């Protein structure tokens, strides 16, 4: 199952690699700071119990 994700910062557009693992939970929420502009990014990844690809939501954190 895919665990590496390339996300794009919703502020500056920089691409960032993240790793999520389904054994840490089927739904995971986290906030990270962009490595370039240092603004907070809210990330949600949801893994399926089937072979469906993971769902990834990237947005500006409030």
* pLDDT at residue number 42: 97
Q: Could you give the CA distance from residue 16 to residue 9 in angstroms, rounded to a whole number? A: 7
Helix (H, G, I), strand (E, B) or coil at 23: helix
The C-alpha angle 59, 46, 10, rounded to 5 degrees, equals 15
* pLDDT at residue number 13: 97
Distance set, CA 2 to CA 12, 43, 50 (Å): 26, 16, 13
Q: Could you give the CA distance from residue 41 to residue 11 in angstroms, rounded to a whole number? A: 9
Decide if pLDDT at 1 tops 80.
Answer: no
* pLDDT at residue number 62: 78
Convert the pLDDT of each residue in 4-61 to its tens digit: 999 999 999 999 999 999 999 999 999 999 999 999 999 999 999 888 889 999 999 9
* pLDDT at residue number 2: 64
Range of the domain at 12: 4-60
**Number of domains comprising the chain:** 1
Report the run of H or E that residue 19 belongs to, with start and end.
strand 15-19
* pLDDT at residue number 50: 85
């Amino acid at each position: 199952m895919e665990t590496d994700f390339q996300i794009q910062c919703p502020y500056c557009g920089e691409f960032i690699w993240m790793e999520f693992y389904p054994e840490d939970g089927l739904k995971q929420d986290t906030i990270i700071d962009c490595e370039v502009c240092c603004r907070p990014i809210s990330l949600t990844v949801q893994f399926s119990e089937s072979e469906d690809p993971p769902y990834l939501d990237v947005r500006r954190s409030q």
